[in-house]
Amino acid sequence: MPNSLSLQSRFRGWGNGLLGVAIFSGSLPATRLAVIGFSPLLLTSARALIAGILACLMLAVTRQPWPNGRQWRQLLVVAGGCVLGFPALTALALQHITSARSLVFVGLLPLSTAVFAMVRGGERPAAAFWGFALAGAAAVAGFALARGAQSSALGDGLMVAAIVVCGLGYAEGAVLTRELGGWQVISWALLLCVPAAAVGTAVFWPADGLGMVGWQSWLGLGYVSVFSMLIGFVFWYRGLSLGGIASVGQLQLLQPFMGLGLASVVLGEPVAPLMMVVTLIAVGSVAGAKRFA
């Protein structure tokens, strides 16, 4: 019975994780739409404020018990990495690179998450797991370097920094989900950011208002506020907690290619045939990593 329950838990973890990745795959294309009308810093503040208000309402209605001191410190890591750090860095990066290129860097996120799963989650994947994880990361990194003529050193650097802080936030949040629950972790982290988000929204609000902002930018803001900042994390943290941080984290290798498809359809950005080859390598890496995690 314990083995069947463990297997069922892992399958639930992968199902939740895949749904979270599907939701996150729309984040960078939506951010690309949003930064047409909003400055990166206003977008970062506004999305955190909107999601934070929704999270506060959820916590109040369900009367969740307050975290303890240690849990608050862990929530600060989640807030700094996932709520503020990753959105701010990616929004700034998207001023210099396309969403298609930025999505390629997301392929490095599984490796970052797996490293922090060891440091913060105490997981010890088999050696073969690291082989598949490195193969997937190398495939997407190699693809990025192969398209270096269209790159920006500043944009690429900002994306690398975003991947590091996000991997830490993912691992820390997954560990804490075992104690608080998935939606509670992201909700408390968002609550921590509400004061700073409110101040940032006021400071970065344009003097001439937002009357010229197009509906596409408003749509992008709505998506990253409700889905990317809140709903996606509910499934993602639950998946990491149930299926293992390092193992389920490899699903993120699929996120760039889900997002590339959306970028092509929504933004009309070109998708090179080489992307399809890298997609197949990523899928194989995910399957292999799952087997040996």
pLDDT tens for residues 204-258? 998 887 878 888 899 999 999 999 899 998 899 888 888 888 778 878 777 777 7
Does a structural domain hold residue 4?
no
Instruction: Report the length, in residues, of the chain.
Output: 293
Pair 87, 80: CB distance under 8 Å: no
The confidence band for 96, taking pLDDT boundaries of 50, 70 and 90, is: confident
Summarised one tens digit per residue, pLDDT across range 100-133 is 677 677 777 888 888 888 877 777 777 777 787 7
pLDDT, residue 150, reads: 58
Domain that holds residue 167: 11-292
| Distance in angstroms (rounded) separating the CA atoms of residues 248 and 138 | 19
Q: Would you call 96 exposed, middle or buried from its count of C-beta atoms within 10 A (0-12, 13-18, 19+)? A: middle
Which residue has better confidence, 128 or 270? 128
pLDDT, residue 290, reads: 63
Q: pTM of the prediction?
A: 0.80
| Distance in angstroms (rounded) separating the CA atoms of residues 140 and 105 | 7
Does a structural domain hold residue 5?
no
Residue recorded with tokens 């999601």: 51
Half-sphere exposure of 158 (CA within 13 A, CB side): 23
- Rounded alpha-carbon distances, angstroms, from residue 216 to 35, 96, 198, 264: 10, 20, 23, 16
Pair 56, 211: CB distance under 8 Å: no
Structure-token pair, residue 26: 């729309």
Mean pLDDT along residues 159-168: 90
- Rounded alpha-carbon distances, angstroms, from residue 132 to 21, 22, 136, 146, 250: 19, 21, 6, 21, 9
pLDDT, residue 149, reads: 42
Assess whether pLDDT exceeds 80 at residue 24. Answer: yes
Pair 110, 279: CB distance under 8 Å: no
Does a structural domain hold residue 91?
yes
DSSP structural state of residue 97: S
Residue 268 main-chain phi, psi, to 5 deg: 70, 20
Largest Cα–Cα distance of the chain, in whole Å? 64
Structural domains in the chain (count): 1
- Rounded alpha-carbon distances, angstroms, from residue 108 to 152, 159, 214: 17, 10, 33
SS3 state at 284? helix
Half-sphere exposure of 73 (CA within 13 A, CB side): 2
